[in-house]
Chains A and B, each alone.
Chain A
Amino acid sequence: MIEGALWRRWVFYNIPLILFVFVLLFPFYWMIVTTFRPDGELYLPWNAPNYMPFWTNNPTLEHVLYLFEETSFSRWMFNTMLIALVSTVISLFCGVLAGYALARLNFPYAGGLGTAIFITYLVPQTLLFIPLAEIIRNFQLGDTPWSLILTYPTFLIPFCTWLMMGYFKAIPKELEECARIDGASRWKAMVYIIIPVAVPGILSSGIIAFTLSWNEFIYALVFLSSPDQKTVPVGVTSELIRGDVFFWGPLMAGALLGSIPVAIVYSFFVEHYVSGLTGSVKG
């Protein structure tokens, strides 16, 4: 791929790549710097003399402490974690079974159901949030974690099913037939032979489902109301802005700490995440 002199490699590859990385990561750097910058430095006008925006010599933990002492931030973290984990498990359970049925069993309307799953995969949350809020209220689920645990699977299941279908289709039919000849029932062949082979796919779907539920916002915003029930994105939005006043220090601290669980999970499973992401767009 690389042709010609060193300077060409720099001009055509390295410098653009460095620029991309810089722009893509700068907001996170900004989050970190703001988190540890004292208020006195934070609220210097941008054109003040000796304003040093990219670094601070007086790092402080006051914003982080504010977050834990004055707000329910640890509650929000716990809520978000609980909701993300439970809805991911539910979605994986449903998605793996449905993906198996659609990819490996012959039954009437299999093709039509596959298409239906694909269509629901494309239904955005913002299309249904108002009637769904009514339904959640009628089911007496409003302002409880269940309102989200039960509704997040609506966008996670189609995704998991779609991804798992791809993984199941790639497993040769013979594997199952061998087990069946040895006397295993269909159910046992599925549980003990095929699903273990598909574990990488299950991991990929699970990690992406987890990050998607951590990211979800509009359902959490509409269905939850009391401060103690909120998830991190909603809590940060509603409790750290009072009227027109933005508490930028705690806001950035909350954004930073709220991102860490996702970042950790992601960093452990980058390869699975990437393979899931690229698998999800295979038609």
Chain B
Amino acid sequence: MAVTAVSGSAARPIPRLRRLEDERWLAMALLAPTAILLGLFIAYPFFEGVLLSLSSARVGDPGHFVGLKNFHKIWDDSIFRTTVWNTFWYTGVTTVFKLALGLWLAILLNRHFRGKAIIRAFILLPFIIPTVLSTFAWKWMFDPTFSVINWTLFQLGFITQRINWLGDPDLAMTSIIVINIWRGVPFFAITLLAGLQTISPELHEAAAIDGARPWARFWHVTWPLLMPVTLVVVLFSVIQTFADFQLVYVMTGGGPANATHLFATYAYQLGIGTGLLSEGAAISLAMFPFLFIIVVVQLLYIRRVETR
């Protein structure tokens, strides 16, 4: 009502504060700081990144336009191919485990017992503590000479020789996957627990009265109702994991012999480490189509589940 009165008088010059009475002007004013910061430090760098990836720039040399040459070059680069494979493998394996273990932990927590609040608070610690710092604790635990994991396995009689966790490509990848799962499980568990708590216990009771066994109740009642939350959690986790940097940088730096690179660590090594800015930019931009497809597919799927 007041809105029409104000916007009807738009012909006359309006004092600045009065102008904020118009929803459109107010919205613009409120969105301006966000638009400026995101435009300056997301949209502009993205545009610059595309230009950079199409140029021959190096550190100290602005370079010139070379078209898709950098992309051709990385396409033929065997390390890049390993990197693509690693990233998908890393993302896929960790997501499956994080979802399974996170859901299990959420179910364990979804009941009343003494100390539940404290346990829940402690469980989130791996997710809260800065990744680089906790990854160093893992690196120390995986240290080939002083590994506490080796010590434990040795004392339990499983091994007789040391395992060089980070020196062997497959073991190094496995170690990184284990740490990513360790860090991600709390996030899955706590968000899925919140999802579980919105499911009315009466549904379970009704199903139980109808004779459904616990497993059937989980599969036909809990799981479908949990689907919308699960999908969003998986979306976030997949993107974060796909674009991961810190964990691999600290654990292996992409080694041994470039066997554990992800997009981000390889882009860092080429772009910042050796100063091939254009190639580095091309590699990190190469993430974009994959991320885009993942987001679109997931969002479409989420919409389908939610409207069902």
Contacts and interface: CB of A to CB of B under 8 A. Distances in A.
A113 B31 CA distance: 10
B191 A277 contact: yes
B140 A252 contact: yes
Nearest to A266: B128
A13 to B, nearest CB: 6
Contacts of B129: 28, 259, 262-263
Contacts of B268: 129, 218, 222
- Interface of B, secondary structure class, is helix
A244 B29 CA distance: 53
Most buried by A among B120, B130, B214, B288: B130
Contacts of A23: 182
Interface of B: 2, 17, 20-21, 23-24, 26-28, 30-31, 33-34, 37-38, 41-42, 44-46, 48-49, 52, 101, 104-105, 108-111, 117, 119-126, 128-134, 136-138, 140-141, 143, 145-148, 150-151, 154, 162, 182, 185-187, 190-191, 194, 214, 228-229, 232-233, 235-236, 239-240, 242-246, 249-250, 263-264, 267-268, 271-272, 277, 280-281, 284-285, 287-288, 291, 295, 302, 306
Interface of A: 1-3, 13, 16-17, 20-21, 23-25, 27-28, 30-31, 34, 42-47, 51, 53-54, 90, 93-95, 97-98, 100-102, 105-108, 110, 113, 117, 119-120, 122-135, 150-151, 153-154, 157-158, 161, 180, 185-187, 211, 214-215, 217-218, 221-222, 232-233, 236-237, 246, 248, 251-252, 254-256, 258-259, 262-263, 266-267, 270, 273-274, 277-278, 280-283
Contacts of B146: 42-46, 248
Contact of A24 (B148, B185, B302): B185
B302 A283 contact: yes
Contacts of A158: 38
Contact of B239 (A122, A132, A217, A262): A122
Nearest to B28: A107
B174 to A, nearest CB: 16
B198 to A, nearest CB: 10
B128 A211 contact: yes
A187 B26 contact: yes
B2 A46 contact: no
Nearest to A254: B133
Contact of B131 (A94, A119, A215, A270): A215
Contacts, number: 285
Most buried by B among A13, A44, A281: A281
B102 to A, nearest CB: 10
Given A97-B31, A98-B34, A259-B130, 17 more contacts: A13-B108, A30-B140, A30-B141, A51-B151, A94-B34, A97-B30, A120-B38, A128-B42, A151-B41, A154-B42, A157-B37, A185-B20, A217-B130, A218-B245, A233-B130, A237-B132, A283-B306
B162 A47 contact: yes
A21 B137 contact: no
B44 A24 contact: no
